[in-house]
Structure 1
Amino acid sequence: MTTQQSTGYNEVAVIDKKFCLPRSIDLTISKNIWKIGQANFVVTKSNGEIIFKIHGAIFSFNTTRVMYDAVGMPIVTLRKKTFNLLSTWQVFRGEGKDQKDLIFSVRRSSFFQLKTKLSVFVAENSDVCDYTVQADWFQRFCQVYFGDSTNTKLAQVDKNLSVDSLITGGDRFKVKVYPNVDCAFIVALIVILDEITSQAKRSSNNKEKR
């Protein structure tokens, strides 16, 4: 992870500097539900061009996601830590899973939350929160911030409901990534946020059925 001063803004290159643009970019993340219960995501620019795809790994039991670029090369792998009360996910370079490949980790800020707040820690740092995701999926929006405050916003996400999403069980996210911010990093955070909130919803539904 590198955080360097840029003209009028901090450059945030967590996954790779090549995913930072000098201007804001609007993205759409479309989520579809597979028959086996896993989700896949397709990320497009405003002109419809696909830039990322995120698939669940086969036989991963909903604990592994791989982000690919437009030509199918793996960028990062998202892995959920098992037996973790704070729903921790780790993001590794490429298809890695060893500590040397770890880029950053994400976890819920606390166990009991009225609104979802995630803390993000870069690989070399496990004590101080580097980035924060604050979400209210009931109101269908979230923001990503630099550090553990709301002073510097890096991205904003709106979750849109559509007729298709109600039929397929998928969702569509409208994302504005601010200038000089790693858009692959932002997309990875949104996928993790969706996985955490979806798991919480499934757990709640299972309890109600008992």
Structure 2
Amino acid sequence: MATGQAFNPVPAMRTYPPVEHPVVVIGPQYLAQYPVELDVNIDFKVSDINGTLIFQVKSKLLSLHDRRFLKDAAGNTVVHLRKKIMTMHRRWEAFRGKSKEKNDLLFTAKKSKLFQFKTELDVFLGYNKGEVPDFKVKEGYSKSSCSILLGDSNTTLAQVHGRHTLAIMPNVDYAFIVALVVVILNKINANDDGDAAINGFMNGLVLCS
């Protein structure tokens, strides 16, 4: 090195251990071979790091069920999310497209326990009729962060940071992760109903609260 020449270190690349097998819930077209980072704004438009719109969420609240529709950038409905009424564990169901038929059920999500100090959700794929969840959601050290895990393992599929940023691991269905975050944002863990839940959603309150 020449005398007086400054040495500028190269920043280390952040790496993610890949999942052993691709995780596909909605479709293989939503798999990426690299980490995916998405931003969710207050209007629930989901964009990538370049600001390109990837998904958007539309609501249908004037019905018997509280419903959300995850749409792609072209406006096509990818997932229909429906909150079941009269359930103790705040259960949500996710169906393919606009369907509400049982054979199109993608997954269900509910609180792991009736009373919780920290958020913990159990997520079951549509065909899973057992008691062991396929995925778990666990609150992090703060209420503005949580992790989405593979079953009861420590394998992280995605993380939610700073209320609105999703970090999704390679080979993980990112449409599924976004659909699951819609459930989280709707405060499945909270003991609220009606206007309180709607206002919390629209105001972009803390994730996993």
Q: Verify same fold: TM over 0.5.
A: yes
Q: Which moved more, 1:59-68 or 1:17-26?
A: 59-68
1:196 is matched with 187
- Residue 78 (structure 1) shift: 0.2
Assess, with a 3 A threshold, how the Cα gap between structure 1 residues 22 and 98 changes in structure 2: closer, same or farther.
same
CA contact (8 A) 2:65 2:85 kept: no
Q: How many residues end up aligned between the 2 structures?
A: 178
CA contact (8 A) 2:47 2:53 kept: yes
Q: Is 1:22 aligned with 2:42?
A: no
2:80 maps to which of 69, 77, 82: 77
Q: Which has the higher strand share?
A: 1
- Residue 133 (structure 1) shift: 0.6
For residues 96-134 of structure 1, give each alpha carbon's deviation from its aligned partner in whole angstroms, at most 9, with x where no partner exists.
011111111001101010001010101110212100011
Q: Identify unmatched segments of 5+ residues in structure 1.
A: 1-6, 33-40, 161-172
2:3 is matched with none
- After TM superposition, the score normalised by the length of structure 1 is 0.78
1:148 maps to which of 148, 152, 163: 152
The residue matched to 1:121 in structure 2 has which SS?
A: strand
Q: Which has the higher helix share?
A: 1
After TM superposition, what 4+ stretches of structure 1 lie above 4 angstroms from structure 2? Answer: none
CA contact (8 A) 1:89 1:192 kept: yes
Residue pairs, 1:1-210, within 5 angstroms = 9-32=20-43, 41-57=44-60, 59-60=62-63, 63-127=66-130, 128-136=132-140, 138-149=142-153, 151-160=154-163, 173-197=164-188, 199-200=190-191
The residue matched to 1:9 in structure 2 has which SS?
A: coil
The residue matched to 1:144 in structure 2 has which SS?
A: strand
Partner Cα separation in structure 2 for residue 55 and residue 159 of structure 1? 23
1:170 is matched with none
For residues 137-193 of structure 1, give each alpha carbon's deviation from its aligned partner in whole angstroms, at most 9, with x where no partner exists.
9531000000123x2000010134xxxxxxxxxxxx101000000001001111101
One-letter amino acid matched to 1:175: L
The residue matched to 1:79 in structure 2 has which SS?
A: strand
- Residue 31 (structure 1) shift: 2.5
CA contact (8 A) 1:119 1:131 kept: yes
Q: Provide the aligned C-alpha RMSD in A.
A: 2.3
1:38 is matched with none
One-letter amino acid matched to 2:27: D
Partner Cα separation in structure 2 for residue 174 and residue 192 of structure 1? 15
- Residue 194 (structure 1) shift: 1.3
Assess, with a 3 A threshold, how the Cα gap between structure 1 residues 194 and 93 changes in structure 2: closer, same or farther.
same
The residue matched to 2:29 in structure 1 has which SS?
A: helix
Structure with bigger gyration radius? 2
Q: Identify unmatched segments of 5+ residues in structure 2.
A: 1-17, 198-209
Assess, with a 3 A threshold, how the Cα gap between structure 1 residues 82 and 189 changes in structure 2: closer, same or farther.
same
The residue matched to 2:120 in structure 1 has which SS?
A: strand
Partner Cα separation in structure 1 for residue 143 and residue 114 of structure 2? 21
The residue matched to 1:10 in structure 2 has which SS?
A: coil
- After TM superposition, the score normalised by the length of structure 2 is 0.78
